[in-house]
Every structure is written in C-alpha cells, then in structure tokens.
Amino acid sequence: MTVRLDATDRKILAELQRDAGQSLDEIAKKVGSSKTPVWNRIRKMREAGIAGPQTVVLDAEKLGFEACFFVLIRTSEHEADWQARFLEALRSRPEVQEAHRLAGEIDYILKVRVKNARAYDAFYQALISEVKVHNVTALLSMEEIKSTTALPL
Amino acid sequence: MTVRLDATDRKILAELQRDAGQSLDEIAKKVGSSKTPVWNRIRKMREAGIAGPQTVVLDAEKLGFEACFFVLIRTSEHEADWQARFLEALRSRPEVQEAHRLAGEIDYILKVRVKNARAYDAFYQALISEVKVHNVTALLSMEEIKSTTALPL
DNA sequence: TATGAAAGTTTTAAATA
DNA sequence: TATTTAAAACTTTCATA
C-alpha cells in the first residue's frame, strides 16, 4: 500500500511536517509551484491517507507533565483474549503515548507521560490490576534529547 | 516554569491537539465561547511557548518507513566531550525520532524509524563508528498499537 | 467579551498552455 | 493533462464599543 510520490509531493510533505500553519502561497513558493497544483496534491495525499490530521505540539514540561517513562513488558500470556484486553487497556489510557508489540524477549514497549512518579505508580497499579503481566521494567527519562514525528523524506 | 491555565484554556488545547486545522469559530463553539477570546487565549499560549508549531501527521507505512526500532544503549564513557559528540550525532540523524537520557542501568533509549532492516544496520554502523558505545540492544517493533503526541489535559 | 470590518487564505471554477 | 488566472466563500486579525 505504498503510494507513488514525486519530488514535489515530498517537498510539500516536508514543508507541512516542518510547519503546517503556513499558507499555500508560502508552500508553493518554496517548492517552486503555485497555489492550485499544491492544493490539489495535498488534497490527493489526504484522501490517500498519507497526510493525516494536523496537530499542535505542546510543551509537556510547561503543562506540568514532568515525568516520562519507557516501560518494557514481558508476559506469559499469549492468548487472543488476553491480548485483546491488554491492547484495549493501553488504547484507553491517555498517559500511554506509544505502545508497540515487539519481536524477541520483551513483548511490549510503552512510552508513558505523567505529571510525576506518583502518577506513574497509579498508572502501573491500575494496569497490572486489569491484566496479568509477567515482568515490568520502567526506564525513567532524565532528559529528552530529541522528540519529533517528522519522517526523513 | 509551569503556567496557570483555566478550564477553557485546557479545552482549547485539547481541541487543537485533536485537530489543529479547524477554524476559530468551531473551537469557540465547542469550548462555549466566541472567536475573539479564544483567539486571545491561543495567542497568549503561543507566546508563552505552551503551544508550539503545527505539524501534520504522516502515515509512515504508506511512505515506505516499514521498520521501527527501540534502541537501548549502555556506555562506559561519561565525559562531557563524549556526551556532546553523542548528542550531536543523535540530533543530526533524521532516522532518530526520539532520544532520551535515562536513569539507571541503561543510559539512553532511541526510537529509530527506517525503511527496512538494512537501513537500520546502516544507521547502527554509522553511529558506532562516530562514537564508542559499550552495549546496544535493538528491539524491533512488530506492530504499532498506539502512537500519539497528545497530552491528557 | 462581543461585534464587525479589513486583510488574507482556501477552495472552486473557468480559461489557457 | 496540468497549470494559471480569477472570483466566491470563508478565516484570521484587530479596532472599537
């Protein structure tokens, strides 16, 4: 389901990733085209689901979210029912910003953003009371060196 | 440097996180206010750096970025000079979407998004040739269960 | 806080290369 | 077929009540 894009499409996406707030005219100038063609390309990429919703990046620290944990989870349960409940628990908890199922020893990794260590503990207790997990390791972030959703187009 | 926000500010931020493309009128209706006050609040929050740049979320899979690794790094080097070079290497590589310095046994965690396993290996070889690291474990994501930058305001 | 008018932007449509 | 021009609809921005 990979879509064919030309160099102009890629430049447009790169600009939108950098700043989705700029006007069509500005983008058009930067990619060496004009408003209408740029608008049509963006519309097509949106329809194809390549470009999704716009969002605003908030400063987590300034909003009081001062703790970020990476959580490594091992489980002994591998039945469909257990997995369905576990995934539902992750999806419904807003503290969980990322959740991946992994290959290898460790089964899942989560990125959890909370106000403080106490809030993490509350999250942890709630999670393990909902679904049984074998082993949990929490890695506490001391410093966010880099954080971006931009893809290197 | 935490800023005081009221319930309306929070609702506005929540709406902007959900969809930054909607108009002021729509946001105003949803938060039970009108255009001008909403606009003033957004401007203030931008000036305070609480609300940052707008971006568009792209579909990594559709763009051919089919591999995502979490990389756990242990190092024996803890000198300022080594660290400065290491951080610079991470910041300058666009495959690195997240990088955190951790407390405890493991020193750093990275989230690395690449087209395929070969591209990951190229990244890995380049990184270890630039800076010496003691131990590297790569966790391969099989499935992205959840991915959001939204904070639970 | 609300109203409204000026400036700017997006979107659609028609004309042109 | 793709691009440019042009015009309508809508949004943002800001002055004033």
Contact B153, A63 (CB under 8 A): yes
What is the percentage of chain B residues whose pLDDT exceeds 90?
93
A21: pLDDT strictly greater than 60: yes
Helix axes A24-31, A35-47, angle to 10 degrees: 100
B39: pLDDT strictly greater than 90: yes
Question: pTM here?
Answer: 0.93
Residue type, B106: I
What is the percentage of chain B residues whose pLDDT exceeds 70?
98
With a 7 Å cutoff on the CB, does B35 touch strand D? yes
- pLDDT class of B1 with cuts at 50, 70, 90: low
Q: Where in chain B is the domain with CATH 1.10.10.10?
A: 7-47
| Cβ neighbourhood burial of A7 (10 Å; 0-12, 13-18, 19+) | exposed
B49-57: average pLDDT: 95
CATH of B67-140, one of 3.30.70.920, 2.40.50.100, 3.40.1190.20, 3.30.300.20: 3.30.70.920
Q: Residue B77 has what pLDDT?
A: 78
How far is CA B128 from each of CA A143, A150, B86, B133, rounded to the nearest angstrom? Answer: 21, 23, 10, 7
B56: pLDDT strictly greater than 80: yes
* CB-based contact A100 B70, cutoff 8 Å: yes
Residue type, B121: D
- Identify which of A65, A94, A146 has the shortest CB distance to residue B96: A146
Q: For chain A, what is the radius of gyration of the CA atoms?
A: 20
Phi, psi of B127 (to 5 degrees): -65, -50
With a 7 Å cutoff on the CB, does B89 touch strand D? no
Q: Residue A49 has what pLDDT?
A: 94
- pLDDT class of A4 with cuts at 50, 70, 90: confident
Q: Residue A77 has what pLDDT?
A: 78
B65-83: average pLDDT: 93
* CB-based contact B101 A145, cutoff 8 Å: yes
Q: Which residue, counting CA atoms, is nearest to the C1' of nucleotide D3? A: A37
Summary mean pLDDT of chain A = 94
Q: Residue A2 has what pLDDT?
A: 61
Contact B8, A48 (CB under 8 A): no
Q: Where in chain B is the domain with CATH 3.30.70.920?
A: 67-140
CATH 1.10.10.10 fits A7-47, yes or no: yes
